[in-house]
Chains A and B, each alone.
Chain A
């Protein structure tokens, strides 16, 4: 019984830590590539938490639904990352900068 509970806790806490780290990175960096990496860190954290919820009702064993959804989620996150990276390289080659223009930042 302990192993179920502690596994749940370990995965969940790790996931939460990753989410926190990732969000911090996403907010604090201006370099676009770093922000995309941070986004992927948050994504991994969320998937870990999601996976951990599979242990919700220990008597039933591992729940398969989160696993299916995580795989879908990873595919989605991968496509988003691919689009983002291609845009970043395009942006970098056009403007010669790896960050968004600062004057526009004040716009936000």
Chain B
């Protein structure tokens, strides 16, 4: 029973915390931190349980599907839950400094904590749902809280960015919902298991899955639907950006993975996987080139997200379609998931670094950050570590991910994918070298233009960046965990 309790807690605890932070707003920061700690502990407990006994499943209130709501956790779910729980915990600790100032109460300080907890509940809901409608509800909740987070500082640009984000997201929701309705018309159920057993590759199913994928791609900011992402992610307060950029697009990507790898792998033909992979490749190139020409640090980091999300879609041609039955499929799929996780850690670290720089320098104009490493060596180091993971250099998690994907690309003769993966790494070196170099340069005029920042505050991004590195050094456990509950015959890959 405890594992069903843990499954309930990872959604229930943040929802409960959400109400408490609203009612008891003075202690919101403490409540939020405690809640995210509970969630992380529950997620780790689930991980232990899943690795010992395989996937776990529970029905809320004892009602089975189709009427009741079933929650299930496999290796993929628990890995995503642990990483997002850890990120929310660290970001929450960071945000204590940003939003909690004795004597002053701001609107953003009040709204941030409940939004953070709703976001966490929605994320976990997505990771454990087995039903397309529950998924829809969870990711609407996720979108609405994410959009609200973008508006926290109340500036015109942020409102505009949030509105653009919302419009894209609503369109995405509609397409997804339409697809889900078509699936219901076909199968009389929205349960993943039921649908997965009776897929027949009819035209209606292909249409439904296509509509859902299009909606999810909109929300994942897959090229060419990425336009909303950079302004929204760079306009939010840094702790919000950290969660928006690292976790929110991963949620819709997670559903896409569930849809094509768990529910209807038979439907994933080569045209679809090639199209998704092609868009992913275009995202890598376009996002990287845009990141190179940006002049603000947060914009560089946001465009880098566009590029890095592209890698996630290269998984489809490498592990889906005709490749699904091949021995390299498991490696490519696992590589993609590890990339999603290490990108989440590295990217949240980068946004928190950017946040600290903004507080210290009062701007994130790249040129104005010249020499900031002298004032904040730890933050500059954390940024560099995160950059190493994004570049895919060893021994980071990004390296193991790219290594697995490259191995599959070569095994399958997918030269073009190998080229895109490598080119993305080199382009990332170009757009990340510039900020690092500027930070480390000596300031133009002597004197101290930067406000010093407490060392403890600087620990937060460093913890996340180290997490991205340790995901590579200790990738054996995550690798094994990710294989649990994979529907496709689990090969050892490699």
The answer to whether A binds B is yes
Is B450 interfacial (CB 8 A cutoff)? no
Contact B174 A100 (CB under 8 A): no
Is A10 interfacial (CB 8 A cutoff)? no
Q: Once bound together, how far apart are the Cα atoms of A94 and B162, in whole Å? A: 14
Contact A87 B166 (CB under 8 A): yes
Against A, the Cβ 8 Å flags (1 = close, 0 = not) of B155-182 are 0100110111011001101100110010
Chain B residues with Cβ below 8 Å from A43 are: 174, 177
Nearest CB of chain B from residue A5's CB, rounded to whole Å: 14
Q: Once bound together, how far apart are the Cα atoms of A101 and B231, in whole Å? A: 13
Closest to B150 in A: A87
Chain B residues with Cβ below 8 Å from A39 are: 170-171, 174
Contact A19 B178 (CB under 8 A): yes
Which A residues from 16 to 42 make CB contacts under 8 A with B? Answer: 19, 23, 26, 32, 35-36, 39, 42
B174 contact from A42, A83, A91, A95, Cβ within 8 A: A42
Nearest CB of chain A from residue B193's CB, rounded to whole Å: 16
Is B144 interfacial (CB 8 A cutoff)? yes
Against A, the Cβ 8 Å flags (1 = close, 0 = not) of B295-330 are 000000000000000000000000000000000000
Q: Once bound together, how far apart are the Cα atoms of A108 and B168, in whole Å? A: 10
Chain B residues with Cβ below 8 Å from A49 are: 178, 181, 185
Is B474 interfacial (CB 8 A cutoff)? no
Q: Once bound together, how far apart are the Cα atoms of A54 and B228, in whole Å? A: 37
Given A26-B171, A79-B144, are A46 and B181 neighbors across the interface (CB < 8 Å)? yes
Chain B residues with Cβ below 8 Å from A66 are: 184
Contact A65 B231 (CB under 8 A): no
Given A49-B181, A83-B148, are A91 and B163 neighbors across the interface (CB < 8 Å)? yes
Contact A80 B170 (CB under 8 A): yes
Q: Once bound together, how far apart are the Cα atoms of A43 and B176, in whole Å? A: 11
Given A46-B178, A53-B184, are A76 and B137 neighbors across the interface (CB < 8 Å)? yes
Contact B144 A65 (CB under 8 A): no
Tally of contact residues, B, Cβ under 8 A: 34
Given A76-B140, A80-B144, are A104 and B188 neighbors across the interface (CB < 8 Å)? no
Closest to A27 in B: B171
Closest to B140 in A: A76
Tally of contact residues, A, Cβ under 8 A: 37
Is B151 interfacial (CB 8 A cutoff)? yes
Q: Which of B136, B140, B159, B170 has the most CB of A within 10 A?
A: B170
Contact B159 A53 (CB under 8 A): no
Q: Once bound together, how far apart are the Cα atoms of A76 and B171, in whole Å? A: 14
Closest to A60 in B: B188
Is B289 interfacial (CB 8 A cutoff)? no
Q: Which of B140, B167, B173, B174 has the most CB of A within 10 A?
A: B174
Q: Which of A32, A79, A91 has the most CB of B within 10 A?
A: A91
Against B, the Cβ 8 Å flags (1 = close, 0 = not) of A85-108 are 001101100110000110010011
Closest to A92 in B: B159
Nearest CB of chain B from residue A108's CB, rounded to whole Å: 4
Q: Once bound together, how far apart are the Cα atoms of A94 and B188, in whole Å? A: 47
Chain A residues with Cβ below 8 Å from B148 are: 83
A63 contact from B154, B174, B188, Cβ within 8 A: B188
Is B1 interfacial (CB 8 A cutoff)? no
Contact B177 A88 (CB under 8 A): no
Binding site for A on B (CB under 8 A): 66-67, 133, 136-137, 140, 143-144, 147-148, 151, 154, 156, 159-160, 162-164, 166-167, 170-171, 173-174, 177-178, 181, 184-185, 188, 190, 227-228, 231
- Please give 4 more A-B residue pairs, beta carbons under 8 A apart, in addition to A87-B162, A94-B156, A108-B227: A26-B171, A35-B167, A49-B178, A57-B188
| 28 A-B pairs with C-beta separation under 8 A | A26-B171, A32-B167, A39-B174, A46-B177, A49-B178, A50-B181, A53-B181, A56-B188, A57-B188, A65-B67, A66-B184, A69-B133, A72-B133, A72-B137, A76-B136, A76-B137, A76-B140, A79-B144, A80-B140, A80-B170, A83-B147, A83-B148, A83-B166, A84-B170, A90-B159, A91-B160, A100-B164, A107-B227
Binding site for B on A (CB under 8 A): 19, 23, 26, 32, 35-36, 39, 42-43, 46, 49-50, 53, 56-57, 63, 65-66, 69, 72-73, 76, 79-80, 83-84, 87-88, 90-91, 94-95, 100-101, 104, 107-108
